[in-house]
Amino acid sequence: MLLSLVKNLFGRAAAKHGNAARAAATNLIRLHIGGRVPHPDWKILDVQPGPHVDYVGHCTDLSALGGESVLEIYASHVLEHLGYRAGLSTALHEFNRVLVPGGTLRASVPDLTTLCTLFLDPALNFDERFEVMRMTFGGQSDNSDFHLVGLNQEFLTSYLQEAGFTGIVRVDSFGIFNDTSSLVFKGRPISLNLTARKPSRA
């Protein structure tokens, strides 16, 4: 048991080191969509320009990036801003296009199932229930801060599979950035965090 645990830990460390070495050797990037804080290991794409932004653009159009040029994509509370008829599917297909075979997508969205349960909780007061409504429909602080789709694990998994992703797993935390993916409200984590892979070549 202990030997198996040690092997597993060493295996993870080696894989992480291997990914870092691979990115450095081949000029692959890690892409943080909608990021706010610069990080030496990640390039940021955002619709709003800023000193922290490496690529100005929308996540449905990653034409600034070549195919198979990205090792990992991180998108926290981004996908819910896309329409469910076309925008969401378009973005996920773009993510798949730019990722290398075997590349990883980490996506976090407000969990519609959790938010519905919270909204119906009779213990919430008016202000708390209103806050749940805001998390469902967006803060609406600017034109891009509106939520156009509600996603739970079933819905987002379906969209990811349709875009060609496999190995879809729900995780409690990504442990990479301090952002809304780890937001807790009234003792409940409100985010759905999924990791998915672009299939490796046979």
> How many structural domains compose the chain?
1
The verdict on residue 89 lying in a domain is yes
pTM as predicted:
0.85
The verdict on residue 174 lying in a domain is yes
165-198 pLDDT, tens digit per residue, is 999 999 999 999 999 999 999 999 999 999 999 9
The verdict on residue 202 lying in a domain is no
Question: Could you tell me the CATH number of the domain that includes residue 60?
Answer: 3.40.50
Q: What pLDDT shows up at residue 92?
A: 98
5-63 pLDDT, tens digit per residue, is 334 444 544 444 444 444 444 689 999 999 999 999 999 999 999 999 999 999 999 99
The verdict on residue 146 lying in a domain is yes
Domain range for 92: 2-197
Q: What is the DSSP string of the chain?
A: -HHHHHHHHHHHHHHHHHHHHHHHHHT-EEEEET--S-BTTBEEEESS--TT-SEES-TT--TTS-TT-EEEEEEES-GGGS-TTTHHHHHHHHHHHHEEEEEEEEEEEEBHHHHHHHHT-TT--HHHHHHHHHHHH---SSTT------B-HHHHHHHHHHTT-EEEEE-S---SS-SGGG-EETTEE-EEEEEEEPPPP-
